[in-house]
Amino acid sequence: MARITVGVSLKMYFGHRAAREWLAEVADIAARSEAVADGRVELFVAPGYLQLLPALEAVAGTRVRVAAQDASEHDAGAYTGEVSPAELAEIGVRMVELGHAERRRMYGETDTVVAAKTTAALRNGLTPVLCVGETERMPVGDALAVAAAQVSSAVAGAPAGRIVVAYEPVWAIGAPEPAPADHIRALTSGLRSAVAELPGRDGSAVIYGGSAGPGLLTELGDDVDGLFLGRFAHDPAALREVLAEASALAALRERVPA
């Protein structure tokens, strides 16, 4: 199936009530989207930890997947303040964001930590949304080398399973605009080839994040498997637009054999 993946992280932008209201609107949008309902578009939402249970409740009966924004590398034990990937899976969370630029930069997450967390996620049946990307503007070849090395280090030694690679150039996160389309295309195409060579990663996807919003998916076309949105999906109407674009792109891919 020519699946397009669209994810949204709320980071820590919303309080509890605002998150619940947003989730209710997203659940309604998803329920009305044929492409989400039949699986041509995979939609996942990554709210804060305290918002996970209400999120699961809100999207029950739809195909929307709930993702955590991080998870421990340990399943259980004396790890104060950590959140267990085993418990996330137990409550119905399906995906987990790992190695986001903000965690790497502000919380000291190294490639080694991201690799341990990736192993733990896959061990527990969670699909890692592996965030990778260069920290500064650089030529595409150099940027690809950085991002591809982050991917291969994260999955080395991890159990087999699908991964979603979110290519997020750090300099384009929280910016007024996404990275230039040519840069994104070069990187997502290169990462697709790199992921295709990894054993045990069938069905994996490479999506783009970093100030993404309506219009970008259509501009990128076939060179990307979807988007990872932040601020520009806080307005549910913008997410509705992106899902319509994803649905059109999925339909186009079904008509044109890969």
* Residue among 158 and 172 whose Cβ is closer to ligand G3H: 172
* Residue among 67 and 253 whose Cβ is closer to ligand G3H: 67
Reduced to 3 states, what is the DSSP secondary structure of residue 119?
Answer: helix
> What are the catalytic residues?
100, 168
**Residue 228: CB minimum distance to ligand G3H, A:** 5
**Residue 231: CB minimum distance to ligand G3H, A:** 4
**Residue 254: CB minimum distance to ligand G3H, A:** 28
> Which residues have a Cβ under 8 Å from the Cβ of 29 and sit 6 or more positions away?
236, 239, 240, 243
* Numbers of helices and strands, H then E, in the chain: 10, 8
**Distance separating alpha carbons of residues 152 and 135, to the nearest angstrom:** 18
User: What residues line the site for ligand G3H (CB under 6 A)?
Assistant: 9, 168, 173-174, 209-212, 228-232
Residue with tokens 């549910």: 236
* Residue among 42 and 253 whose Cβ is closer to ligand G3H: 42
Tokens of 252: 């186009």
Q: Which residue's beta carbon is nearest to the bound ligand G3H?
A: 230
> Which residues have a Cβ under 8 Å from the Cβ of 163 and sit 6 or more positions away?
118, 122, 127, 128, 129, 130, 151, 155, 195, 201, 204
* Residue among 85 and 213 whose Cβ is closer to ligand G3H: 213
**Residue 54: CB minimum distance to ligand G3H, A:** 20
**Distance separating alpha carbons of residues 119 and 239, to the nearest angstrom:** 31
